[in-house]
Amino acid sequence: MPNTTSNGTNQTVVIAMSGGVDSSVAAGLLLRQGYNVIGVTMQIWQESTTETKGAGCCSLGAVEDARRVAAKLDIPHYVLNFREFFADKVIDNFVSEYKRGRTPNPCVNCNRYVKFDALMTKARALGADFLATGHYARVEFDEDERRWALRRALDHDKDQTYALYHFTQEELAHTMMPLGLVTNKAETRAIAAELDLAVHNKPDSQEICFVQGGSYTDFLAQTAPETVQAGDIVDTSGKRRGAHDGVAFYTIGQRKRLNVGSPIPLYVIGIDAATNTVTVGSNDDLLADGLIADDINWVGIAGVQESRPVMVKIRYNMDAVPATLQNSANSEEVVVKFDTPQRAVTPGQSVVFYDLNGDSVLGGATIARGF
């Protein structure tokens, strides 16, 4: 019971076009399958560069790239102004989380609130049957669970399910991700070349779109100068070891920018925004047996009633590791116990639960703390 067919005649799909090769190829594949395709590009960051080479997904140059691709494919193309909404849901959260001494994931919030919430609403208003994106993931119907499932892309190196776990069942039922079935990025670029798309060799964007041309610390210093407040760096005994420029500039596991002298490498193991203190320790101090997470969203299952073995990821670029998932005494939290201690469990980042095959997303949550 897939939400896609080999022949999309009389079905309309709105495709989110970022101006990159992935969304451009996704649009071309949908056309090949016979869908009526409408391209939509979101303007979400008003300070973006006009350069097209390597520009981020929200730059003015990227909008022009998307427009040219749509013209080449001969599909309608619209530009939607989501600037205020993006600032409210993504940028404000990004700043406030760092103020709290946490490390946010803006891409997760962008997918959650902007692409698959606000943009889905726009797509339905345009009369579309589906919203499609250039993400590397698969949407399928799980007959056993009788639920829509979010599954890893065939290209595991490009898989993006870690940043997509906030789907509702209704959203999944109306979402298409054609690149989930592409075997690798080389194939994506080859398809773009076949379609004669100028973006076939455009570099992938590797940065947070709204901090182009600098670092996130520069962005925080300019956007929220109150985050630049010097404080103490202490060790696990509470002894002062140095000074920092602001807790927002540090994350768990960090070694750089630590103004401390030590015969052994020291890492950030704790951040306390209330006392404006950064705690450092050894690499062993970074290891955690498990974590507590909140802001839970279930995807492939409706929830957990008892302990369940799962595979989990606590950061984007890592292999899923075995763990046990169980309810917490607090109904708004879940407990994850790793089979093997994991390094640098980071509050504010996502923990995503997969089935034992590591293929299907069961759900995800925001890390509150490690233990």
Catalytic residues, by residue number, are: 110, 209
Nearest to 297 by CA among 115, 175, 166, 171: 166
CA distance 151 to 362: 9
Q: Is 151 in contact with 360 (CB distance < 8 Å)?
A: yes
User: Quick one: tokens of 21?
Assistant: 């090769």
DSSP assignment string, 240-266: EEEEES-GGG--TT--TT-B---SS--
Strand 308-313 relative to strand 231-234, pairing: unpaired
Q: Is 367 in contact with 312 (CB distance < 8 Å)?
A: no
CA distance 371 to 355: 23
DSSP strands (E only) in the chain: 12-16, 36-43, 77-81, 130-132, 137-142, 147-152, 175-176, 231-234, 240-244, 267-272, 277-281, 287-298, 308-313, 321-327, 333-343, 350-354, 361-370
Strand 147-152 relative to strand 77-81, pairing: unpaired
